[in-house]
Amino acid sequence: MQFGAHLPLGALRDHETSGHALVAYAEQAEELGFAVLGANDHVVFTRPWLDCLTSLAAVASSTQTIKLMTTVALPVVRGPVQLAKALSTLATLSNGRVTAGVGPGSHRGDYQAAGVEFDERWPRFDEAIRALRHLLGATSEPFTGRFYDTANIELEPNPKGAARIPLWIGSWELSTRLNWVDPFFVGQPSGVVARLWTWITEGTALGPLWLQAVVTMEEAVVGFIIGSLLGIVFGILLGRIELLAETLSPFIKAANAIPRVVLGSLFAIMFGLSLWGKAATAVVLVFFVVFFNAFQGVREVDRNLVANARILGANNRRLTTEIIIPSALSWILASLHISFGLAIVGAVVGELFGATAGLGQLIYNAGHTFDVNGVFAGMFVLAVLALIAEGLISALENRLIKWRPSRVSGEIPI
């Protein structure tokens, strides 16, 4: 899984420091391992907003590997030729790190500033996409339409070479409404919203939507707590006792090599349709992530710190509770951010093997009735619950490691 960061183009109000802050933000995002930097496009907005393409060009010179993406650019407002020229230039300056995300946009002020009728944005956007495909090298066929004509236009620098730019159409709804893709197979955002509204107001075939969410979260939380506790205990224990670690190492490696998701069928047989079958699947997914982080965190404790504590008379119990565990806490808490998502996966997979309620069962039923919008709606609810849990874990982390040094002055938070 990869993560992206969004350039805060509307949050930098101090014009004297905006450039430095933006570059520092991009550099830190790259250092932290983010895969993509996104920038949203507005010409006239409700608050001050830096130009997305100019801002991406600024950070391109200070970064090396992170991808640069418009999320999204407005080809109708900018004009497809001007946008393609800017994107191809940016691709050249960044050594091909650009992905062009485009969409029609929804802010009327942008269209008024460009002198384009807002009600014409959909037919114009349809043509702008086709023009961009030719200009950015996705097709060799020139486009001639009612609004745009690329028949005699050849861009330099030429994006058809090594720095060809991927073009993402930023409108799932548009592509289905124009029959570019069949909504029967990929659904529609409007259909997903309608399905969610039906579930909220009228309930699902399995009962109220909130009840399905409670069932899945109960299974995930139980599995998360048990798996985390077991992972922490065994990780610290094996990290402290080298003989025990060497003895159990072959068994742990063998168990870790087993595709743990398939154990859901075994747990369904053992525990039936009860909560424990789903919780057990969540436990095995969570355990290994937390265990390896706790184990490595113990092994990475500063040996000089341990030696000094022993010189001052610390016994094994005090050494573990006052030196080892606090030092390994950052490793352990980092694993919790990942493992709760795995706990939800375990609960959903367990429900797929057998359940009478839950979001996993709801998604399973939607898939078997060819309700693609229902599948996406269930996934959306799961994503919302995971984000809420992530916020709670972050709050717990901030509370448990207050001793951590505060952020250095001038450092830009991601």
- Over range 155-161, report the average pLDDT: 63
Cβ(297)–Cβ(331) below 8 Å: yes
Q: Sign of the C-alpha dihedral, residues 86, 89, 94, 95? A: positive
Measured CA to CA, the distance from residue 245 to residue 24 in angstroms comes to 43
Helix (H) or strand (E) holding 199: helix 189-202
Q: 401: Cβ–Cβ under 8 A, 6 or more apart, which residues?
A: 329, 330, 333
| Cα atoms in the 13 Å half-sphere on the side-chain side of 23 | 8
| Alpha carbon distances (Å) from 169 to 6, 74, 103, 264, 275 | 18, 11, 6, 38, 42
- Over range 125-144, report the average pLDDT: 82
Q: How confident is the model at residue 5 (pLDDT cuts 50, 70, 90)?
A: confident
List, edge to edge, every strand of the sheet that includes 67-73. 4-6, 36-39, 67-73, 98-102, 167-169
CATH fold group of domain 4-181:
TIM Barrel (3.20.20)
Instruction: Please return the burial class of 109, using the count of CB atoms within 10 Å of its CB with bins 0-12, 13-18 and 19+.
Output: middle
234 pLDDT more than 70: yes
Interval 160-170: pLDDT, tens: 543 456 666 55
Domain(s) labelled CATH 3.20.20.30 in the chain stretch across 4-181
**Would you state the pLDDT for residue 409?**
40
Instruction: Please return the burial class of 328, using the count of CB atoms within 10 Å of its CB with bins 0-12, 13-18 and 19+.
Output: buried
**Considering the chain, what percentage of its residues have pLDDT values greater than 90?**
16
Domain(s) labelled CATH 1.10.3720.10 in the chain stretch across 201-400
- Over range 291-300, report the average pLDDT: 86
Q: Length of the chain, please?
A: 414
CATH fold group of domain 201-400:
MetI-like fold (1.10.3720)
Q: pTM, whole model, 2 decimals?
A: 0.59
The SS3 call for residue 137 is coil
